[in-house]
Amino acid sequence: MEGDCHYLDGNLAAKKRVKYIQRVLNAIGMESDRIAMVNLSSAMGAQFAQVATEMTERIRKLGPNPLRHSPQAKAPDGPDASE
Amino acid sequence: MITGEQKPLEEIKGFLGDDRNVLVVGCGTCVTVCFAGGEKEAQILASSLRMSTKLGGDPKEVSDVTVQRQCEWEYLDVIEKEVQEADIIVSLACGIGVQAMAKHFPEKWVVPGLNTNFLGLPEEQGLWTEQCQACGDCVLALTGGICPIARCAKQLLNGPCGGSENGLCEVKRVKKDGGIPVMETDARGRKRPVMEDVECAWHLIHERLSSLDKLDLLMEVQPPKDWSTSRDGGPRRIVREDLLLLDEG
């Protein structure tokens, strides 16, 4: 649960980093919904299944990674679609 | 240290124009420590530019390299090959590094990827505060190590103005997160920036001198500051004849 982490405040730090990644995705032009964070304990199997299902449905609605289908740049050594 | 914040991606993309080969150059010194333009940030920016331009239908070749310091010629020599292969350079250094790049590679178009902000102190992780304005005539010996030039809105030299109340300045600061103003909605439904309190530098000076039993330092009236050592005389420079290399000619 939020703030109640085995690694003390690790989940609170992770929450801020997920927010940062959402901001980066927005700037790039990708849907920020492609990343999400939820807090569950190891005893919440049913909720985990529900959250995983919801995330899968959300990603299906958003569709495949658009970078895989856009024009290819002659990329140098760096990764592209898999970034 | 010099602090900076990365420009919005859209602004950086706007600099690229029709150029195809983009080189993002990070700097391993001040802007690495303030998480704005080091190796990691250069890689993230290069990756973001690759993905964003590809999504926009105009994919560009973007690579990155980071040097120890962009403000020294010897560190720029080592990236000569990468620079020559690029059409445009996005420098993630402070304004000094950007200008050094432009001067060292005069045939290359160099654009800034950062906004250089101030000379600041990393007070804690994720927080940098302005401490010095490089005025060229340090007064910290009179003020207990707290600078009224950088930290007083009015740059006063003889105590606080009438706007100091409960240790706070009458001037408020726009609250920002990652360089972006934090907004709130007022009672009429209008968006406005959230303002936050700023400590009164002179209150801090008084508290510190009082605790060190040095309040007598404040009894001497300070004359108007000589700003000729600051920016008033145009761009400044330091010359050390003892360090200049001998003219071999």
Whether B167 and B102 share a structural domain? no
Q: Which domain holds residue A21?
A: 10-62
Residue B111 belongs to a domain: yes
Whether B72 and B173 share a structural domain? no
Residue A45 belongs to a domain: yes
- pLDDT per residue over B77-121, tens digit each? 999 999 999 999 999 999 999 999 999 999 999 999 999 999 999
Residue B15 belongs to a domain: yes
Test the A interface: residue of B54, B62, B125 with most A CBs within 10 Å: B54
Contact A20 B178 (CB under 8 A): yes
As for the ipTM of the complex, it is 0.74
- Rg, Å, chain B Cα set: 22
Q: Give me the residue from A30, A66, A78 closest to B50, CB to CB.
A: A78
Q: What is the 3-state secondary structure (H, E, C) of B65-103?
A: EEECCCCCHHHHHCCHHHHHHCCEEEECCCHHHHHHHHH
Residue B239 belongs to a domain: no
Beta carbons of B236 and B227 less than 8 angstroms apart: no
- Compute the nearest-CA separation of B155 from chain A (Å): 36
Adjacent-strand bridge partners of B2: B119
- pLDDT per residue over B124-180, tens digit each? 988 999 999 999 999 999 999 999 999 999 999 999 999 999 999 999 999 988 778
Whether B17 and B112 share a structural domain? yes
Q: Sign of dihedral through CA atoms B18, B20, B23, B24?
A: positive
Predicted TM-score (pTM) of the model is: 0.87
Q: Sign of dihedral through CA atoms A56, A57, A59, A63?
A: positive
Buried/exposed A33-59: b ≥16 CB within 10 Å, e otherwise: eeeeeeeeeeeeeeeeeeeeeeeeeee
Whether B8 and B63 share a structural domain? yes
Q: Which domain holds residue B139?
A: 133-215
Residue A83 belongs to a domain: no
Whether B72 and B171 share a structural domain? no
**Interface residues from chain B to A (CB-CB < 8 Å):** 8-10, 44, 46-48, 50-57, 59-64, 178
